[in-house]
Protein backbone atom coordinates (compact mmCIF):
# COMPACT_ATOMS: atom_id res chain seq x y z
CA UNK A 1 0.00 0.00 0.00
CA UNK A 2 1.31 3.41 -0.94
CA UNK A 3 1.23 5.69 2.09
CA UNK A 4 3.16 8.73 0.96
CA UNK A 5 0.60 10.71 -1.03
CA UNK A 6 1.01 14.45 -1.42
CA UNK A 7 -1.48 17.01 -2.73
CA UNK A 8 0.03 20.32 -3.80
CA UNK A 9 -1.54 23.66 -4.71
CA UNK A 10 -4.79 22.89 -2.88
CA UNK A 11 -7.35 25.45 -1.73
CA UNK A 12 -8.61 25.20 1.84
CA UNK A 13 -12.16 24.64 0.59
CA UNK A 14 -11.07 21.48 -1.24
CA UNK A 15 -9.21 19.86 1.66
CA UNK A 16 -12.22 17.92 3.08
CA UNK A 17 -12.75 15.88 -0.11
CA UNK A 18 -9.05 14.91 -0.08
CA UNK A 19 -9.06 14.00 3.60
CA UNK A 20 -12.20 11.91 3.13
CA UNK A 21 -10.56 9.92 0.34
CA UNK A 22 -7.03 9.73 1.76
CA UNK A 23 -6.87 10.65 5.46
CA UNK A 24 -3.12 10.08 5.53
CA UNK A 25 -2.39 12.43 2.61
CA UNK A 26 -0.24 15.48 3.19
CA UNK A 27 -1.57 18.71 1.75
CA UNK A 28 0.15 21.95 0.79
CA UNK A 29 -1.97 25.02 0.16
CA UNK A 30 0.65 27.49 -0.99
CA UNK A 31 2.63 27.28 -4.19
CA UNK A 32 6.05 25.77 -3.48
CA UNK A 33 9.19 25.87 -5.58
CA UNK A 34 10.85 22.82 -7.14
CA UNK A 35 13.54 22.79 -4.43
CA UNK A 36 10.88 23.00 -1.71
CA UNK A 37 9.01 20.09 -3.29
CA UNK A 38 12.14 17.94 -3.11
CA UNK A 39 12.72 18.96 0.52
CA UNK A 40 9.13 18.69 1.80
CA UNK A 41 7.95 15.75 -0.34
CA UNK A 42 11.14 13.71 -0.42
CA UNK A 43 9.41 10.41 0.40
CA UNK A 44 6.50 11.01 -2.02
CA UNK A 45 5.25 8.00 -3.93
CA UNK A 46 2.24 9.81 -5.40
CA UNK A 47 2.04 13.51 -6.21
CA UNK A 48 -1.26 15.20 -7.11
CA UNK A 49 -0.63 18.71 -8.43
CA UNK A 50 -2.09 21.60 -10.39
CA UNK A 51 -0.69 23.84 -13.14
CA UNK A 52 1.23 26.14 -10.78
CA UNK A 53 3.44 23.28 -9.58
CA UNK A 54 6.51 22.81 -11.76
CA UNK A 55 7.59 19.18 -11.83
CA UNK A 56 10.75 19.54 -13.86
CA UNK A 57 13.59 17.08 -14.42
CA UNK A 58 15.29 18.13 -11.18
CA UNK A 59 12.21 17.37 -9.06
CA UNK A 60 11.42 14.05 -10.73
CA UNK A 61 14.99 12.80 -10.49
CA UNK A 62 15.38 13.87 -6.85
CA UNK A 63 12.26 12.09 -5.54
CA UNK A 64 13.53 8.52 -5.15
CA UNK A 65 10.19 6.79 -4.44
CA UNK A 66 7.99 8.64 -6.93
CA UNK A 67 5.70 6.31 -8.89
CA UNK A 68 2.71 8.40 -9.99
CA UNK A 69 1.97 12.02 -10.86
CA UNK A 70 -1.63 13.15 -11.25
CA UNK A 71 -2.25 16.67 -12.47
CA UNK A 72 -5.70 18.12 -11.86
CA UNK A 73 -5.68 19.80 -15.24
CA UNK A 74 -6.07 19.12 -18.94
CA UNK A 75 -2.66 20.58 -19.81
CA UNK A 76 0.57 19.02 -18.58
CA UNK A 77 3.29 21.33 -19.87
CA UNK A 78 4.33 21.90 -16.22
CA UNK A 79 5.53 18.28 -16.03
CA UNK A 80 8.70 16.94 -17.68
CA UNK A 81 7.25 13.86 -19.37
CA UNK A 82 10.63 12.75 -20.72
CA UNK A 83 12.11 12.69 -17.22
CA UNK A 84 9.02 10.89 -15.91
CA UNK A 85 9.20 8.23 -18.61
CA UNK A 86 12.92 7.69 -18.05
CA UNK A 87 12.29 7.16 -14.32
CA UNK A 88 9.24 4.95 -14.92
CA UNK A 89 6.82 7.41 -13.34
CA UNK A 90 3.28 7.26 -14.69
CA UNK A 91 1.50 10.55 -15.36
CA UNK A 92 -2.26 11.14 -15.49
CA UNK A 93 -4.28 14.24 -16.25
CA UNK A 94 -7.97 15.16 -16.21
CA UNK A 95 -8.87 15.29 -19.91
CA UNK A 96 -12.16 17.10 -19.35
CA UNK A 97 -13.25 18.59 -16.05
CA UNK A 98 -15.48 21.23 -17.55
CA UNK A 99 -14.89 22.14 -21.18
CA UNK A 100 -18.31 23.85 -21.22
CA UNK A 101 -17.20 26.08 -18.32
CA UNK A 102 -14.16 27.35 -20.22
CA UNK A 103 -16.23 27.80 -23.37
CA UNK A 104 -18.73 29.87 -21.39
CA UNK A 105 -15.91 32.10 -20.14
CA UNK A 106 -14.89 32.85 -23.73
CA UNK A 107 -18.28 34.45 -24.27
CA UNK A 108 -18.24 36.10 -20.86
CA UNK A 109 -15.06 37.88 -21.96
CA UNK A 110 -16.40 38.70 -25.41
CA UNK A 111 -19.69 40.12 -24.17
CA UNK A 112 -18.07 42.01 -21.30
CA UNK A 113 -15.58 43.67 -23.63
CA UNK A 114 -17.56 44.15 -26.82
CA UNK A 115 -20.61 45.46 -24.97
CA UNK A 116 -18.61 47.59 -22.48
CA UNK A 117 -20.17 45.96 -19.42
CA UNK A 118 -17.46 46.99 -16.97
CA UNK A 119 -17.30 50.57 -18.20
CA UNK A 120 -21.08 50.87 -18.16
CA UNK A 121 -21.32 49.55 -14.61
CA UNK A 122 -18.56 51.92 -13.45
CA UNK A 123 -20.27 54.87 -15.11
CA UNK A 124 -23.54 54.24 -13.30
CA UNK A 125 -22.20 53.04 -9.93
CA UNK A 126 -19.18 55.25 -9.40
CA UNK A 127 -19.90 58.31 -11.54
CA UNK A 128 -23.68 58.39 -11.15
CA UNK A 129 -24.17 58.93 -14.86
CA UNK A 130 -26.96 57.03 -16.63
CA UNK A 131 -25.97 57.59 -20.26
CA UNK A 132 -25.00 55.25 -23.09
CA UNK A 133 -22.92 57.87 -24.92
CA UNK A 134 -19.66 56.34 -26.15
CA UNK A 135 -20.63 52.80 -25.21
CA UNK A 136 -21.75 51.54 -28.61
CA UNK A 137 -20.99 47.84 -28.72
CA UNK A 138 -20.29 45.13 -31.27
CA UNK A 139 -22.75 42.30 -31.88
CA UNK A 140 -21.68 38.70 -32.41
CA UNK A 141 -24.40 37.61 -34.85
CA UNK A 142 -23.03 37.21 -38.37
CA UNK A 143 -19.40 37.66 -37.35
CA UNK A 144 -16.82 35.04 -38.32
CA UNK A 145 -15.25 33.27 -35.37
CA UNK A 146 -11.96 31.45 -35.89
CA UNK A 147 -11.15 28.67 -33.43
CA UNK A 148 -7.57 27.40 -33.17
CA UNK A 149 -7.84 23.91 -31.70
CA UNK A 150 -11.18 22.12 -31.65
CA UNK A 151 -10.89 19.56 -28.92
CA UNK A 152 -13.51 19.41 -26.17
CA UNK A 153 -13.28 23.12 -25.35
CA UNK A 154 -13.03 24.38 -28.91
CA UNK A 155 -15.97 22.27 -30.08
CA UNK A 156 -18.11 23.64 -27.23
CA UNK A 157 -17.15 27.16 -28.27
CA UNK A 158 -18.14 26.34 -31.85
CA UNK A 159 -21.54 25.02 -30.80
CA UNK A 160 -22.34 28.06 -28.63
CA UNK A 161 -21.14 30.45 -31.34
CA UNK A 162 -22.97 28.84 -34.25
CA UNK A 163 -26.23 27.76 -32.62
CA UNK A 164 -26.41 30.36 -29.86
CA UNK A 165 -25.05 33.55 -31.41
CA UNK A 166 -25.58 32.63 -35.08
CA UNK A 167 -21.94 33.23 -35.95
CA UNK A 168 -20.02 31.78 -38.87
CA UNK A 169 -17.42 29.43 -37.41
CA UNK A 170 -14.10 28.47 -38.95
CA UNK A 171 -11.67 26.15 -37.22
CA UNK A 172 -8.17 24.80 -37.53
CA UNK A 173 -6.94 21.59 -35.92
CA UNK A 174 -4.08 19.30 -36.95
CA UNK A 175 -6.44 16.33 -36.53
CA UNK A 176 -9.73 17.20 -38.28
CA UNK A 177 -12.88 15.31 -37.31
CA UNK A 178 -15.60 15.75 -39.93
CA UNK A 179 -18.34 14.34 -37.70
CA UNK A 180 -17.39 16.81 -34.95
CA UNK A 181 -17.62 19.63 -37.48
CA UNK A 182 -21.11 18.54 -38.56
CA UNK A 183 -22.32 18.15 -34.97
CA UNK A 184 -21.05 21.56 -33.87
CA UNK A 185 -21.65 23.51 -37.08
CA UNK A 186 -18.18 24.67 -38.03
CA UNK A 187 -15.92 24.42 -41.06
CA UNK A 188 -12.29 23.31 -41.05
CA UNK A 189 -9.88 25.61 -42.89
CA UNK A 190 -6.13 26.03 -43.17
CA UNK A 191 -4.58 28.09 -40.39
CA UNK A 192 -3.55 30.82 -42.80
CA UNK A 193 -7.14 31.07 -44.01
CA UNK A 194 -8.40 31.32 -40.44
CA UNK A 195 -6.03 34.20 -39.68
CA UNK A 196 -7.21 36.06 -42.79
CA UNK A 197 -10.98 35.56 -42.58
CA UNK A 198 -11.82 35.70 -38.86
CA UNK A 199 -13.33 38.74 -37.15
CA UNK A 200 -12.67 37.11 -33.79
CA UNK A 201 -9.99 34.50 -33.04
CA UNK A 202 -10.10 32.31 -29.95
CA UNK A 203 -7.22 30.03 -28.94
CA UNK A 204 -7.77 26.52 -27.56
CA UNK A 205 -4.53 24.71 -28.37
CA UNK A 206 -2.05 23.12 -25.96
CA UNK A 207 1.34 24.69 -25.36
CA UNK A 208 3.79 22.77 -27.53
CA UNK A 209 7.01 23.79 -29.29
CA UNK A 210 4.88 24.19 -32.44
CA UNK A 211 2.32 26.46 -30.73
CA UNK A 212 4.65 28.63 -28.65
CA UNK A 213 4.20 32.22 -29.93
CA UNK A 214 1.75 30.95 -32.53
CA UNK A 215 0.30 34.46 -32.49
CA UNK A 216 3.23 36.64 -33.45
CA UNK A 217 4.08 39.61 -35.64
CA UNK A 218 3.90 37.55 -38.82
CA UNK A 219 0.57 35.86 -38.08
CA UNK A 220 -0.96 39.10 -36.80
CA UNK A 221 -0.02 40.76 -40.10
CA UNK A 222 -2.27 38.21 -41.86
CA UNK A 223 -5.31 39.06 -39.75
CA UNK A 224 -8.14 41.45 -40.50
CA UNK A 225 -7.75 45.02 -39.31
CA UNK A 226 -9.69 45.31 -36.05
CA UNK A 227 -9.55 41.59 -35.22
CA UNK A 228 -10.47 40.51 -31.69
CA UNK A 229 -8.24 37.94 -29.95
CA UNK A 230 -9.34 35.73 -27.06
CA UNK A 231 -6.97 33.41 -25.19
CA UNK A 232 -8.07 30.94 -22.53
CA UNK A 233 -5.44 28.29 -23.38
CA UNK A 234 -1.84 29.08 -22.37
CA UNK A 235 -0.21 32.49 -22.18
CA UNK A 236 2.89 31.55 -24.13
CA UNK A 237 0.81 30.80 -27.23
CA UNK A 238 0.89 34.57 -27.79
CA UNK A 239 4.01 36.68 -28.18
CA UNK A 240 3.20 39.57 -25.84
CA UNK A 241 5.37 42.17 -27.61
CA UNK A 242 3.67 41.45 -30.92
CA UNK A 243 0.24 41.61 -29.26
CA UNK A 244 0.96 45.03 -27.75
CA UNK A 245 2.19 46.33 -31.09
CA UNK A 246 -0.96 45.03 -32.81
CA UNK A 247 -3.16 46.74 -30.21
CA UNK A 248 -1.29 50.03 -30.52
CA UNK A 249 -1.61 50.09 -34.32
CA UNK A 250 -5.32 49.12 -34.11
CA UNK A 251 -4.66 45.99 -36.14
CA UNK A 252 -6.12 44.26 -33.07
CA UNK A 253 -9.14 46.06 -31.66
CA UNK A 254 -9.48 44.04 -28.45
CA UNK A 255 -7.60 41.34 -26.56
CA UNK A 256 -9.48 39.30 -23.95
CA UNK A 257 -7.10 37.13 -21.97
CA UNK A 258 -7.50 34.60 -19.18
CA UNK A 259 -3.82 33.68 -19.35
CA UNK A 260 -0.57 35.61 -19.67
CA UNK A 261 2.87 34.76 -20.97
CA UNK A 262 4.50 35.57 -17.62
CA UNK A 263 1.91 34.73 -14.98
CA UNK A 264 4.62 34.27 -12.36
CA UNK A 265 5.57 37.94 -12.75
CA UNK A 266 2.68 40.01 -14.07
CA UNK A 267 4.71 43.20 -13.64
CA UNK A 268 6.17 42.26 -17.01
CA UNK A 269 2.67 42.77 -18.42
CA UNK A 270 2.04 46.19 -16.89
CA UNK A 271 1.84 47.88 -20.29
CA UNK A 272 -0.52 45.25 -21.71
CA UNK A 273 -2.82 45.10 -18.68
CA UNK A 274 -3.20 48.90 -18.57
CA UNK A 275 -4.41 49.18 -22.16
CA UNK A 276 -8.10 50.19 -22.37
CA UNK A 277 -8.91 47.63 -25.06
CA UNK A 278 -7.60 44.71 -23.01
CA UNK A 279 -9.41 42.60 -20.42
CA UNK A 280 -7.41 40.18 -18.28
CA UNK A 281 -8.84 37.64 -15.84
CA UNK A 282 -6.52 35.60 -13.58
CA UNK A 283 -6.85 32.15 -15.16
CA UNK A 284 -10.43 31.63 -13.94
CA UNK A 285 -12.03 30.17 -17.07
CA UNK A 286 -11.95 26.69 -15.49
CA UNK A 287 -12.90 27.91 -12.02
CA UNK A 288 -16.54 27.03 -11.40
CA UNK A 289 -18.31 24.85 -8.86
CA UNK A 290 -19.06 21.80 -11.01
CA UNK A 291 -15.71 21.85 -12.81
CA UNK A 292 -13.77 21.88 -9.53
CA UNK A 293 -15.82 18.93 -8.28
CA UNK A 294 -15.11 16.96 -11.45
CA UNK A 295 -11.43 17.93 -11.37
CA UNK A 296 -10.93 16.35 -7.95
CA UNK A 297 -13.15 13.31 -8.53
CA UNK A 298 -11.25 12.39 -11.71
CA UNK A 299 -7.86 12.96 -10.09
CA UNK A 300 -8.81 10.81 -7.09
CA UNK A 301 -10.11 8.15 -9.45
CA UNK A 302 -6.68 7.92 -11.11
CA UNK A 303 -5.04 7.46 -7.71
CA UNK A 304 -7.54 4.73 -6.78
CA UNK A 305 -6.88 2.94 -10.07
CA UNK A 306 -3.13 3.04 -9.47
CA UNK A 307 -3.40 1.79 -5.88
CA UNK A 308 -5.61 -1.10 -6.98
CA UNK A 309 -3.39 -2.10 -9.89
CA UNK A 310 -6.04 -1.18 -12.46
CA UNK A 311 -5.42 0.34 -15.92
CA UNK A 312 -5.07 4.11 -15.74
CA UNK A 313 -7.85 5.49 -17.95
CA UNK A 314 -6.33 8.97 -18.01
CA UNK A 315 -2.67 8.08 -18.31
CA UNK A 316 -0.80 10.39 -20.66
CA UNK A 317 0.74 8.50 -23.56
CA UNK A 318 4.48 8.13 -23.39
CA UNK A 319 4.74 7.77 -19.60
Instruction: Output the furthest CA–CA distance in the chain (Å, rounded).
Output: 67
Active site amino acids? 234, 263, 283
Compute the half-sphere exposure of residue 95: CA atoms within 13 Å on the CB side of its CA: 9
Pairing assessment for the beta strands 26-27 and 68-71 based on DSSP bridges: unpaired
Count of C-beta atoms within a 10 Å radius of residue 252: 25
Which residue, 130, 68, 117, 71, is CA-closest to 319? 68
Angle at 298 between CA 210 and CA 286, to 5 degrees: 55
What's the rounded Cα separation, in Å, for the pair 51 and 38?
Answer: 17
Enclosing H/E stretch for 229: strand 227-231
Count of C-beta atoms within a 10 Å radius of residue 54: 18
For 179, left (φ over 0), alpha (ψ -120 to 50), or beta?
A: alpha
What's the rounded Cα separation, in Å, for the pair 134 and 273?
Answer: 22
Contact 215, 193 (CB under 8 A): no
What's the rounded Cα separation, in Å, for the pair 296 and 21?
Answer: 10
Amino acid sequence: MFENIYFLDVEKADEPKIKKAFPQARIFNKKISPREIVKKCYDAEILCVFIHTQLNKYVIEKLPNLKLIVTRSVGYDHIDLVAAQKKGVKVCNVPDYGSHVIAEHVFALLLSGLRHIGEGDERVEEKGIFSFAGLRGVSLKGKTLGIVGVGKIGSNVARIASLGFLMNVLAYDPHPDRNLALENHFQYVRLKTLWKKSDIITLHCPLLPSTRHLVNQKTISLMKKGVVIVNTSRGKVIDTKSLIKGLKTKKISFAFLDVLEHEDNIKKHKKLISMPNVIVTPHIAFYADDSMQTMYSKALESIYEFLNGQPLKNQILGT
